[in-house]
Amino acid sequence: MFKEILEKIVVDCTGGVGSILMGYDGISIDQFCLEESELDLNLVGIEYSNVTKEIRNAAQILSVGDLQEVSIKTEQYYVIIRALTDDYFVALIVDRHGNYGQGRYLLMRESSSLRLALV
């Protein structure tokens, strides 16, 4: 069920490359990546799970509310991370020529489906 939701997010996003559902502990639940991509989604998820965990902890220490979303802009990609629960997040990788705003919208729209599937 997760793979279908992740695939829908990637395919519906102009420039979507891949998407991964992951725990903050760095363990991947499921992922979908376009075949032509050379990106190692598991490695992306592991590395960004540590960063996201630190940002989430900082938000708690500062009492500014729960983490909802983190965006990372690199030379080649946008990485959009959306918090789902206290234990899980979803990340979408979009090519820099892709539609970042559309990716954010799709993650927001599908996050409730992913939350329900996690239960």
- Domain boundary assignment for the chain: 2-118
CA-wise closest residue to 115 among 87, 81, 79, 80: 87
CATH number of 2-118: 3.30.450.30
pLDDT in tens, 33-59: 998 778 888 898 898 998 999 999 999
**Interatomic CA distance for residues 25 and 33, integer angstroms:** 21
CA-wise closest residue to 102 among 5, 1, 12, 21: 12
**Interatomic CA distance for residues 71 and 58, integer angstroms:** 16
CB 18, CB 10: distance < 8 Å = yes
CB atoms within 10 A of CB 97: 8
**Whether pTM exceeds 0.85:** yes
Q: Supply the pLDDT for residue 38.
A: 81
Q: Supply the pLDDT for residue 101.
A: 96
pLDDT in tens, 78-105: 999 999 999 999 999 999 999 999 999 9
